[in-house]
Amino acid sequence: MARAKRRAQPAERIYELDWLMLAVVCLCCVGLTMAVSVQGAKHGAEFAVREQGAKLIAGLVALVTMSLFPLGLLRRYAKHLFAVGIVLVLATLFFVDERKGATRWLRFGGTSFQPVEFARIALIVLTATVIAKVGARRAEFRAGFIPVLTPAVILAAALALQPDLGNALLTMTLACAMAVSCGVALRWFFLAALPLIPALVVAVRGYQLDRIHGFLGDEPPLQVQRSLTAIGSGGFAGTGVGNGWMKMGFVPEAQNDFVFAIIGEELGLVGAIFVLGLFALIGYVGFRLVLTLRDPFHRYVVFGCTFAICMQALVNLLVTTGMAPAKGIDLPLVSSGGTNLVATLAMVGLIGNAARADSAV
C-alpha cells in the first residue's frame, strides 16, 4: 500500500464518497431509532429525539468543519494538536472523579466528553504527517519505525494511567496498522513486542483481569449472556422497533455498549445484517480510496480514519456477541454516546476532505 495501485478520476472519488455518506446517514438513522426505542421507553420519545438530535447536530457541525478545514494547516500544526490531545487525556487524572475504577471523562459546562476520542484523531493526523515526511526511509528502524510509532506510544502510556488499557491497545493497533500499511518492516514489531508483552501482563489487574477470566471461563459474563439472549430472541425479522423488552434493565448499557443486542432483538437478523453491511461498505469505500490517492498524507489520513471506525465497530460487535473480553466501547454512529458520535463524524469529514484535496494535487 506504500504506493497507490491505480489512479481514480475526481468524479469517481465523488461517486465513492456518495456511497460513504449513504452508509453514514443510514447508521445515524439506525442510531436515532435505537435511541428513541431504548431511551424513549424510560424518558419518553420526545426526550430521546431531543437528546440524540442535539448530538447529531453537533456531529454534523464536526463533519462539515473537518471536511472544509485546510489540510495544509492541519498538517502544519499536527504536533500541536496532538499535544493538546495528550494534555486533555492527562487532565482526566486530576480534574475528575473515578467512574468504574477509571478517570476517562472531562466536564465542560454542562456536558462531559472523553478526550481519547479526539486525541485519536490527532494521532491519525500526526502519524500520517510523519509517514509522509520519512518517505522512502520508512522501512528503517531509526528513520521509520521509531518516529511513526512514538506518538502512539505516548498516547497509549497516557491512557494506561487512567487506567484505560482497552483504548491503549486500540491506539497501538491503529498506529501499527498505519505503520505496516506504509511499509515499516515487520521485524521491528516482533522485536518491540518482546519487552512489551510482559509489561502488558503486569499492567492487567483488577476488573480488567476479571474480564479476561470471564471471557476464558466456561460461561460468558452475565452481560454477554443477556446480550446473546436478546440477539437470539429477535429471530429473523425481530420483534419490531419499540417492542423489545430486554432494554428495560435486562441488557446493561443498552443504549451504548450493547446497542447491537437491541438491534438484534427488535430488528432481527435482517437488521443485524443491514448494520454489518453498512460498516462493510464504509470499510470498502475507505480502503478503495486509499488505493487511489496520490499524496501520502492524504492516503494515510483516509486509511487511519477508515481503520479506526471499522476497528471500533468490530471490537464492539465481538464483545456484544461474546467473541472478545468485555470492553466498554461504543458502536460508531449507532450508540448514543455523544463524544464518539461527534468524533466519528469528524473522521468522516476528514476522509472526504482528503479525497477531494488529492484530486487537486
pLDDT at 96: 62
Q: Report the mean per-residue pLDDT for the chain.
A: 85
* pLDDT tens for each residue of 155-208: 999 998 887 888 888 999 999 999 999 888 888 888 777 776 666 666 555 555
Q: What is the CA radius of gyration of the chain?
A: 20
Q: Which residue has the higher pLDDT, 79 or 191?
A: 79
pLDDT at 210: 55
Enter the pTM of the model: 0.88
If you average pLDDT over residues 27-32, what whole number do you get? 94
| Residue from 119, 72, 96, 139 nearest 298 by CA | 72
Residue 282 has pLDDT above 80, yes or no: yes
If you average pLDDT over residues 129-145, what whole number do you get? 87
Phi-psi region of 112 (alpha: psi -120 to 50; beta: other; left: phi over 0): beta
Q: Which amino acid is at 102?
A: A
Of 41-50, 255-264, 347-356, the poorest mean pLDDT is in 41-50
Q: How many angstroms separate the CA atoms of 339 and 336, rounded?
A: 9
Give the pLDDT band (50/70/90) at residue 266: very high
The contacts of residue 208 (CB under 8 Å, 6+ apart) are 163, 165, 166
The answer to whether 27 touches 278, Cβ cutoff 8 Å, is: yes
pLDDT at 244: 84
